[in-house]
Amino acid sequence: MSSKFNISDRVKNLEESETLAMSKKSNELRSRGIDVINLSLGEPDFATPQPIKDAAKKAIDQNFSYYSPVSGFLDLREKIVSKLKTENNLEFKTDQIVVSTGAKQSLANLMSVLLNPQDEVIIPAPFWVSYKEMVEFTGGKAVIIKAGIEQDFKITPDQLEHAITKKTKAFLLANPSNPTGSVYTPSELKELVSVLKKYPSVVVISDEIYEYIIFDAQYCSIGEFAEIKNQVVIVNGLSKSFAMTGWRLGYIAAPREIALACEKVQGQSTSGASSISQKAAIEAFQMGRNHSAVQEMVHAYKSRRDILRRELSKVPGFILHNPQGAFYLFPEIKKLFGLKYNENVIGNSKDLVMYLLDQANVALTAGMAFGAPECIRFSYAIKEERLIEAANRIKAAVEKLI
């Protein structure tokens, strides 16, 4: 269908989010009465904890219904500063905090303020679907470092060293990782820091949105290392830790120059985040990591991880790792490439997820979207019985392939 409107080239070149696209397809099938198990979207299935909801209701009654400061309410930024100090041993001031409409906007702001055309951002793969698109949308160049399942999806210092050039502007690290759930240990981070400290002009962007969802690992922020603390930007939010996806509340903690630049960009785009969400977030930070509601979710995710790994280990051709955080499993499935069912040949991960959607009514996300075409992503933010049912369906569908 032709159009009389000339959409910009940068938008034409922008890929649709694969996770949202697959979720859309599964919802379309459900609307037709098909029982689809959607494991494609990274969204907690828990309700927001009651104290947070109560704080939001109180804020409404107290008429917090006006524009908020662009960088966020001062009392919220004070809570973030306190959280970073007590939980992460990080020193920031309130003028280094910018609150945004989700961590996704925080990342988009950063790309806008840091990148000139052809500036390079180093991104370990597998990576979250939006990283590469955000970099390229703002005119930068994404430099991808591949880390496979044999490395537990974690890059080495040598890989990082070889990727850095005169054009490198930033290094973007997700810890814990979406889509793999891998967690860098303190010693592994120290090795990366030994490289990064040689390049003080390279901004280290640490996406810590899954920070609270840790199982058997010790969590450490890369910002804790004194050698690079002045070049680190922390990106975080409340969507995953407190089941607040729809509240849209994220933040950065950054060197003051970068924070002021992000505030400037945000002031010309969305301005301040929702006043009600901000007041609710104050209560979330008051609850903290060790609150029973948070720990209940973490324990449930760990149990689901174990169940899903057990069930998927029965599926022919699946190679599994053992994620230490987040709520994703990222099996390697390249042993299935070249197999077929009737006329459907599995040539890549997208072929497999479409086959499983058609034959098993299970919605997954192809690893191609995450820079790992040999894998597929499972989100286990869903009840245990549905995970078992999904695995059984997948096993039956895969066993049809010849």
Ranges of beta strands (E only) in 278-371 are 328-329, 340-341, 344-345, 362-363, 365-366
Higher-confidence residue of 19 and 149: namely 149
**Residue 347: per-residue pLDDT:** 95
**Residue 24: per-residue pLDDT:** 79
Of the pLDDT bands very low, low, confident and very high (cuts 50, 70, 90), residue 381 is: very high
**Residue 302: per-residue pLDDT:** 98
Q: How far apart are CA 228 and CA 95, in angstroms?
A: 20
The pLDDT tens digits for 111-130 are: 999 999 999 999 999 999 99
**Residue 264: per-residue pLDDT:** 98
**Joined tokens for residue 56:** 């939001």
Ranges of beta strands (E only) in 256-375 are 328-329, 340-341, 344-345, 362-363, 365-366
pLDDT exceeds 80 at position 371: yes
CA nearest 253: which of 366, 114, 98?
A: 98
* Mean predicted confidence (pLDDT) in 17-28: 76
pLDDT exceeds 70 at position 1: no
**Residue 2: per-residue pLDDT:** 57
CA 111 vs CA 8, 140, 154, 354: distances in Å: 19, 8, 23, 32
- Write down the pTM of the prediction: 0.95
Residue that the structure tokens 């019985």 belong to = 385
**Residue 259: per-residue pLDDT:** 98
- Domains in the chain: boundaries: 9-47+292-398, 64-287
Of the pLDDT bands very low, low, confident and very high (cuts 50, 70, 90), residue 23 is: confident
* Mean predicted confidence (pLDDT) in 84-89: 97
Architecture per CATH, 9-47+292-398: Alpha-Beta Complex (3.90)
To 5 degrees, how large is the angle CA 311–CA 146–CA 194? 115
Of the pLDDT bands very low, low, confident and very high (cuts 50, 70, 90), residue 181 is: very high
**Residue 9: per-residue pLDDT:** 87
Q: How far apart are CA 258 and CA 247, in angstroms?
A: 25
Of the pLDDT bands very low, low, confident and very high (cuts 50, 70, 90), residue 30 is: confident
Residue that the structure tokens 């109560």 belong to = 54
Side-chain half-sphere exposure of 51, counting CA atoms within 13 A: 13
CA 309 vs CA 56, 218, 383, 390: distances in Å: 38, 21, 15, 12
Using a 10 angstrom Cβ sphere, with 0-12 exposed, 13-18 middle and 19 or more buried, the burial of residue 355 is buried
Q: What are phi and psi of 156, to 5 degrees?
A: -105, 160
**Residue 12: per-residue pLDDT:** 86
**Residue 319: per-residue pLDDT:** 98
* Mean predicted confidence (pLDDT) in 14-41: 82
Q: What is the mean pLDDT of the chain?
A: 95
Amino acid found at 296: E
CA 197 vs CA 25, 69, 119, 142, 221: distances in Å: 45, 35, 19, 21, 15
Q: How far apart are CA 9 and CA 158, in angstroms?
A: 36
**Residue 34: per-residue pLDDT:** 86
* Mean predicted confidence (pLDDT) in 153-180: 98
**Residue 3: per-residue pLDDT:** 64
The pLDDT tens digits for 64-86 are: 999 999 999 999 999 999 999 99
**Residue 344: per-residue pLDDT:** 87
**Residue 318: per-residue pLDDT:** 98
Of the pLDDT bands very low, low, confident and very high (cuts 50, 70, 90), residue 18 is: confident
Architecture per CATH, 64-287: 3-Layer(aba) Sandwich (3.40)
Q: How far apart are CA 300 and CA 381, in angstroms?
A: 9
The pLDDT tens digits for 130-142 are: 999 999 999 999 9
Q: How far apart are CA 287 and CA 277, in angstroms?
A: 15
Residue that the structure tokens 């859309």 belong to = 24
pLDDT exceeds 90 at position 32: no
Give the rounded percent of residues in the chain with a pLDDT score beyond 90.
Answer: 89
pLDDT exceeds 70 at position 358: yes
The pLDDT tens digits for 187-211 are: 999 999 999 999 999 999 999 999 9
Helix%, strand%, coil% for the chain, nearest 5: 45, 15, 40
The pLDDT tens digits for 223-269 are: 999 999 999 999 999 999 999 999 999 999 999 999 999 999 999 99
**Residue 20: per-residue pLDDT:** 73
Residue that the structure tokens 């950054």 belong to = 254
Using a 10 angstrom Cβ sphere, with 0-12 exposed, 13-18 middle and 19 or more buried, the burial of residue 17 is middle
